[in-house]
Chain A
Amino acid sequence: MPALAKIAVRNLVEHKDKSLIVGVIIALGVMILVVGSSLLDSASRSLARSFVDSYSGQVIITAKAHGNVTLFGVAEMGAVEGTPLLPDFDKLTTYLRSRPEVKGFTFQVSAAEQLNKVGEDAAGSGPFIYLFGIEPASYAAMFDNMTLASGAGLVPGQEGILLSKRQVEQFRKELGTDLTVGDKVLIQSFGTAIREVTLRGIIAFKQRNAATDLIAYVDPDTVRALAGISQDTRTGHELDAAEAGLLSASESTLFAENTPMVHASSGRGRLPAQTKKAAAQTPQPASGPWQFILVNLKDPRGAASFAAKTNQWIADQGIGARASDWRTAAGPFAIVPNIMRFVFTLAILIIAIVTVIIIMNTLMVSISERTGEIGTMRALGAQKSFVWRMLLAETLVISLLFGVAGMALGSLLVGVLNHTGITASGPLLQAIAGGATLRPTIAPSALGSSILLVILIAIIAHIYPVRAALRIQPVVAIQARSE
């Protein structure tokens, strides 16, 4: 064993109590880092998977806006901005069809509205909900997270809404009335528009997450009507007399009429066969304006490069659109893990600072006790660099030894949590966990960052004590009265 390492290890063994105090603190800090990072990474991955698989695809194309255009509205500080419609929709879909990386894509419009049941007080306090107006065929091909519990799926060209079991339950709790397939549901927008749609089916989800019960799926025309989106996307359109008349029409004329009822007689537990079949092919051009194109790639790892490539093409074409990843699409739901990571990083920083202070303090005491020894080494011809390396070796040995112990303990704990699983019961916990059940796995980055953090702590902690040690003159060896 090299002399430095030998002296370092023996000094640590010689001063067991101090070594143990410092070591336990390092091990605990590293364990917290490993477990915390693994939990956060697993939650982030779970949330990403959940969003990509359920709502956004790997890449989302939206119109440009001042804020980030998310599936839940435009996120902009201090301003209210409606979700803009996608310009040059045909050009965009033609481009996507030509790209070999694209596995499939679908279209969506969305709005946040309040639900009520027909026959109830429309001003009542029904649940607020995000309406995802979808093109059913291609949507079903891309996202297979939902299954039908009862009723039928949405059919192109037909009004209708799909609610989850929990939403129906929530509806019953809030309005005290049961909602069954075939019932008419009133959707009231935050403006004045009210729309009546038929509950076509009740759905269940294979995997739940924080957004699951906040979203209902409807036909796109309903969303367009509620959001005041014109079917004609021309700009600068002059209203003819009939259209102008609508502006002064009474509220009742805004209600949808003759909404046909379709009862599903088959297909319970799965989407209609014709829907799946249509979706397996290249998406057909969808009528009406859309706010989002959701894209699935053959290789999910290529999302960032595909988004960049698409943005370049969009810029070259002069289209006012933008391609982003799931984080942009998830909007507020992607913020929760970021906040958690920020809080966790802050906690780790505080632990690291405390650890540095404790190691520094312990080293200072150790150096003051070893003044004679260090002075003797200097008198015998040890250069200052030797003393520096000796103290650094001691700090690194204790840090790495207990750091590895902390990593092992942390990995063990993550393994246990993976085995048992962590159940997130409420929406907040689900938002943090990225789903209903979190099974954390060891994040390799957590192990790597633990090693780096431990080395960094050791280096920072030894700087001041080493400066003190290097000030020790060899003459103190002559004055030393101890061994």
Chain B
Amino acid sequence: MSSSPIVELADVTKVYLLGRTEVPAVRGVTFNIEKGDFISIAGPSGSGKTTVLNLIGCVDTPTAGTVRIDGVETGGLTDRQITSIRHKMIGFIFQSFNLIPVLNVYENIEFPLLLDNGRPARGERKQWIDTLIEEVGLAPWRGHRPGELSGGQRQRVAIARALATRPRIVLADEPTANLDSATGQSIIALMKKINREMQTTFIFSTHDATIVRIADHVIRLHDGTVEREERREGNDAGAR
């Protein structure tokens, strides 16, 4: 494992305009995330968790400061370059699952791979998607559409989809918020299992203390600033 961090935020500020009023969402945030981390960005509502995830996920740009993903500074990149970074390096798990309703489980997981001009080849692609479906335990539902699945199943599809392009980072914004606690725990456990198996960096935001407990590394935000950083080496809580 290289010693350079996969994510670096240096003195990052993000200000939103609400009419003519400037609303600072993040103020001078600095932290690094190492490769293979299983990290929780925690904090109460309005603390800036989602904004930080948006900045790391290259779906938003900072007002000031720098964001580096695997050594690449995201400021000043074109839309095409930023989109390419998202596609190749980052997987997303959304709070509301955000599956494509007209595609079934298999096709939803396959979708990010179809954006890469037919790479990998069809056979290799199918094998990998089947592996992911097995991994998230959805083999019996592979032909079902999102509308026919439970919340937990949908989030499992989202996890498999996030892993489809073998990204370096998986971002999950409140992945358990729309799930009951037992399902939420199982989803986090699944994420941790994959983190351990594939060495994929998982970054998830949550305000649920039970979920935070499972993370190896916690960055606590409050009012847009880093309140505290905690590291728990070899934390096996929640892993299955």
Contact = CB atoms under 8 A, between A and B. Distances in A.
Interface in A176-225: none
A377 B53 contact: no
Contact of B96 (A377, A473, A480): A480
B135 to A, nearest CB: 19
Contact of A372 (B50, B87, B98, B102): B98
A480 B59 CA distance: 14
Nearest to B99: A483
B92 interface: yes
Contacts of B124: none
B159 to A, nearest CB: 13
A483 B59 contact: no
Contacts of A10: 102-103
Interface in B34-66: 50, 53-54, 57, 59-60
A373 interface: yes
Interface string B125-157: 000000000000000000000110000001000
B94 A380 contact: no
B83 interface: yes
Contacts of B79: 384
Contacts of B84: 381, 383
Contacts of B165: 381
Contacts of A378: 83
B56 to A, nearest CB: 11
B54 A478 contact: yes
A95 B238 CA distance: 104
Contacts of B173: 478
Given A372-B98, A376-B94, A7 B112 contact: no
Contacts of B97: 483
A10 B103 CA distance: 8
B98 A473 contact: no
The interface residues of chain A, by DSSP majority, are classed as helix
A482 B97 CA distance: 8
Contacts of B146: 483
Given A380-B161, A478-B54, A483 B154 contact: yes
Interface in A368-408: 372-373, 376-384, 386
Contact of B83 (A11, A381, A477): A381
A350 interface: no
A383 B80 contact: yes
A475 B60 contact: yes
B100 interface: yes
Contacts of B161: 380
B31 interface: no
Nearest to A378: B83
B98 A480 contact: yes
Contacts of A237: none
A257 interface: no
- Point out which of A473, A477, A478 has the most chain B C-beta atoms below 10 A from its C-beta: A478
Given A380-B161, A480-B96, A7 B54 contact: no
A14 interface: yes
A379 B86 contact: yes
A379 B92 contact: yes
Contacts of B72: none
A381 B101 contact: no
Contacts of A13: 102
Interface string B151-172: 0001000000100010000000
Contacts of B88: 381
B179 to A, nearest CB: 14
B82 to A, nearest CB: 9
B77 interface: no
A384 B53 CA distance: 22
B102 A14 contact: yes
B23 interface: no
B87 A380 contact: yes
B114 interface: yes
Interface hub of B86, B88, B173 (most chain A Cβ within 10 A): B86
Nearest to A11: B102
Given A477-B92, A478-B173, A7 B102 contact: yes
Contacts of B86: 379-381, 474
A11 B100 CA distance: 10
A380 B158 CA distance: 11
Contact of B100 (A376, A475, A480, A481): A376
Given A380-B115, A477-B92, A7 B100 contact: yes
B99 A475 contact: no
Contacts of A384: 79-80, 83
Given A7-B102, A376-B98, A483-B99, A381 B54 contact: no
A7 B102 CA distance: 7
Contact of A477 (B94, B101, B154): B94
B98 A483 contact: yes
A6 B104 CA distance: 11
B41 to A, nearest CB: 13
Contact of B57 (A372, A376, A379): A379
A123 interface: no
A379 B154 contact: no
Nearest to A12: B102
A244 interface: no
Interface string A1-27: 001001100110110000000000000
Given A380-B86, A381-B88, A483-B147, A373 B100 contact: yes
A14 B147 CA distance: 12
Nearest to B102: A10
A129 B114 CA distance: 75
A380 B101 contact: no
Interface in B67-124: 79-80, 83-84, 86-88, 92, 94-103, 107, 111-112, 114-115
Given A381-B165, A386-B115, A478 B83 contact: no
A314 to B, nearest CB: 63
A379 B79 CA distance: 11
Given A7-B100, A7-B103, A380-B86, 14 more contacts: A14-B102, A372-B96, A379-B86, A379-B92, A381-B86, A381-B112, A381-B115, A383-B115, A386-B115, A477-B92, A478-B53, A478-B59, A481-B96, A482-B96
7 contacts: A14-B101, A372-B96, A380-B86, A478-B94, A478-B173, A480-B96, A483-B97
Interface of A: 3, 6-7, 10-11, 13-14, 372-373, 376-384, 386, 473-475, 477-478, 480-483
A-B pairs, 6 with minimum CB distance = A381-B87, A10-B102, A376-B98, A474-B59, A3-B114, A475-B59
